[in-house]
Structure 1
Amino acid sequence: MDVITNNTAVMDSTKKKSPYSFKVIADLVKNGLFLQGVRHAFAKIGIDIMPYYWVQEEVIHTEEPKLRTDEKFTFKRLEKQDLTVVIAEADSISENKIHQSFADGQECVGLVHNDQIAAYMFIELNDFEIKKRVFKLKSNEAYLLNMFTLTSFRGRNLAPYLRYACYRHLEERNITTKYSVSNYFNKSAIRFKEKLNSKPRKLYINIDLFKLLQWHFAIKKYS
């Protein structure tokens, strides 16, 4: 894959569709995320109801996941310029998340194969907001978000492998407690984290009506 050395791809990407396009909704339904598709459909007309789990990851130390390939992958920290090709090929939602994560000062890590990025994710070490609700992190805590495996590298079990590598990367920096968010409707993401010994700690719901009225509160706490 050729590396793009100018900003043309980034500039052109501003012409992409809204993150709530009908194609996004159709893809969600096609991939078995029917309720997530319904949520996006309502969000398109201004009614966004988002229940989600606040998850503590790897509550018990997990074993290293096995890759479904003999290919070699290197775990490394990535800078924004490393993701230029990824941004050019990303859909609107993924592109927006990448830009926002770097703008917020989050750290990006990923798996690289033959100088090509195969999967990436972001790490937040500072206090942050989700739907205007502030979450505070201690010095030994991190929030993990925006994991993505590129289409051409799927089917190799890279997502859990990258997550595990990230856990060990943080452990070397004395960051031992990891959190993330799982959309209540995204059952595949929930199962993926369960395999890494993760547990939900709280169930939240955010209701946003036409970007004018918003409610955000916890509806269940887990032991």
Structure 2
Amino acid sequence: MGQSDIQAEAIRVAIVDDQAMVRQGFGALLDAQEDIAVVGSAADGSEAVQLVRRTQPDVVLMDIRMPQMNGLDATRAILDMPGLSHPRIIMLTTFDADEYVFSALQAGASGFLLKDATAEDLIAAVRIVADGEALLAPSITSKLIADYAARPAPRDNSALLSPLTERELEVMKLIASGQSNAEIAETLFLSEQTVKTHVSRVLGKLALRDRTQIVIAAYESGLVSPGR
């Protein structure tokens, strides 16, 4: 297999951060992997939007706090682009309980990664998100649940889930609890492929982008609640 074939099959990654050392360091680590190709980098959110339009990456590593346009606004702009296969976006933060956590997830981010993550965690994060999984560290998940716990009781939005079967609701609950497809398969005595099919149906019926949005929808609809 030639180099061009490997590049064609690789996970295409764009890196957005206002610190050159972060862009260069992450870029070198990821480019060294046979299954990952860094297709470009940007120093702020407005550059990121143009970069994504030009290179159409599979995954974007997006800093939250940047000049010109911050990572939240850039994420919204990218995921609102018409006629584009939208990338999955991993937010980069220096805080494990960043105040923008919930806003970023609502905007469509697929997860979070701390900037001081190990090389192994960085590489794994890109692969996990590219494969359609959510990337929510326990500390981030705890923050998200705490945010919900501090809010007034949610309106009864259960009607939003009416298109789902009982099995799909079960799968949705388990996703919201943080289980992977393999763990859900074990819990429900199903094959992993069957679980993937249920996840795809939940995403399609509820018009959601990824598993992270399933988690948010599970809380917002009252299907699950903090402390349950």
Structure with the larger helix share? 2
Task: Verify same fold: TM over 0.5.
Answer: no
Structure with the larger strand share? 1
